[in-house]
Structure 1
């Protein structure tokens, strides 16, 4: 329950009375959030919504009270309190004097150098009058660099004095532990501090150059100003656009030289040239896809110096004055690429359109060039040696690994076991050969002929097989184009020459006539007439059956 005190009475026990109508006893909210940020808020009312008298003042009144300092209007003024003592480690904390300098290090036993100049940085700490000497580290110097003298108070003389900031100045020497350091420059804070203390600074000096560093220094690099040509734009606009020319490679000036067809391709995306050879079937050449790999081809180069080795063939960009461009390719002209001459005689449709639209040039009509190769050397077939058949012996000349000659399988299947039999006598000047009779068999399956002599008792001649199955060439035929006997050449009275022996046909089977009449369009009429006349005069009982003879 809240208590309410009467106005004007002191806040003492017995002077406050409870307020029965008061029901709120919470404190007002003093913390607020705006846009995600916490903002403190000054309370305007107290506990139970009681007004706060201190918050009834305006902001201007509060500011005036904050800046008001009361003064005594009577009596002696009180003396002000003495200022607080600030020790040196607080007053000069993190205040360091920096001097740049160097010292000379003597080099013994070297004919190339006498001394080396080593730059250093001298730090003076004002808080405790200590000093440190540090040598900046240089890459690949080969020397132990870094902190040469750690932070400490450095002795000045043998009397026990130490170096103070009053002993430091530009263009002065400091002897520390047997090494003389020359101070040449200082930073802005050091200069301002010394001048504020009344120290007159000397003029700054430059650190002398180190002879060893100058001897090792590399000459300055020379840079070439890059071209303002936009390579990216060329790639985006000219990608997959190729100029194609058809050319003839004139290689006739060399031993066994010839003229060969090639394709010259110019890539607009990077101004490179590629040459591909057009391979012909059975040309005897290895099918390499590329004659000249894709690259930029120089047009004019600088003449090499006399000291340049002639065995080196690589040419750098500095030696090339100009590369081949699309304007160097014209139909009807000979272009030299890598020492070889190429006659351009035609190009494709895209190339003609590009020259007309982009360069304003029109290529002439394609040239007529002789693309035929030289006459092939005719292979000389050696004479037939008599071993085996002519076709079988010819395979040794046509292939390194001879294969059996091809046969007409359809003809063999259709005419299997079909034989034309003729009767013949030997045409010889020897009287002993008179009366000798032979059976000549013509095999339709493979056009071979065999001769059989029936044995005759008491004739003095052993009968039997006179000639194995073989193809008989006609007289006058050559080894290159032999002509063999066929059924059209076998008629009654025909003279058949078999390897130096002559036979005259005297009779034939009736099956011969029946078979030849089925193919009468391929048989001469005199052959059929001779067979009809002979078989017509033959008695009926001597005629043979119409079935084919089986051997």
Structure 2
């Protein structure tokens, strides 16, 4: 007899419940899923540890006791389609109602105005029924403006109710935190949304004009005489208007001085001047661009104050007869500010327009100044002459950089011309009678354009033969480091003279391989060189001079 540990037919009384000792899973079922990035909860289908739910068992017993027709044969009785549930934060996302409104603020202690009209914009977010009120900023208003009420649900009354979109309409008063906002109009999206919900909006109202702003547009006539300098008018009309000049500071009189580029700003709002130095990368100077802070520069000081040590104390307005004005800054001319000379060579577009409108008698003539790159091009680097140690290319790298790098080599040429050597017989052109019988073999390596000279051993000559010159690139006479020209196969004609470190060698003969190679690559080779080789080698062939399979003479040693 086997016990059914999952049986639910026993009464749920103490002593009638049994624990399944074979059960090992006791986790709860998952009831939270994510669909399209949103969390959605659903009812569990199984119980703890994958046990069937009690409600499902009861429903199965009721279905067995009733004689309903099964759904499999005749279909389900509920044929209605259930629409997918869309939450409000998805359906109403980024849908905002916008209303234009205003409120009146009482002005105290002012005989000219009693109240001012301040326009605002009311935003209603359908997503969560929150609202925010923003006041547009007005330039130079002197009033802190911007967001008046941050986004939140606004209270409607003392009973805890909040404003809904059904409560808003054009022409109504919206009282929030003791301030009454009057709605005048709305945008097109708000109107369409309200009409779709069956709410008829009132006619839009015009925004009232602020009485103080209207009075400022048409000021009353004044019988007082205007002052020579109206600081308030200058502040309102010239705010954020700056004349910008490009100049060169001539500092050549000081030790290690030079000409430095600067910018001069003249602020029309208060007639102050500021000088900033143009910072350049890798200039070797600290990045302190402010050369002179913003201040009024005196042009003429009263005579009784000229001897006063102004370098100790600042010059006050009572000591100055005249300050620098825009008339003193003329493009193309020199100006002296605080003992420093500046050349104004250009200005920006606003400065040119300002002078054409206010000072047409002053002609703006931008001048061209040499750039720093042009000056560096004029100062061409002088490379010292080759000292003879190593190769000329390696010595040149020590002049180009602090850490020399190896000179680049033509790898393709080295691979194509590997083990290709042109050999010539030569004699030493010397005034010494003992050098007449000395014979040399000059080898030219096509892979790296180097030369080597080998001296033949002559018995009883008193001169030890062997390597006369190791592999090295030889410069032609008269060539410099800047315009270096090396010996090439085009220079090796029979009878030609090759000068190597003060020694003059005359070429007397060559291998047949030399003629074969030069005829195959006759492009850069002069015709005279080829004719001299053909004439010499044709005589050697007539004399039946032995040679190996590569065209090299047997009698000539290989270096």
* TM, length-normalised to structure 1: 0.48
**Which entry has the higher C-alpha Rg, 1 or 2?**
1
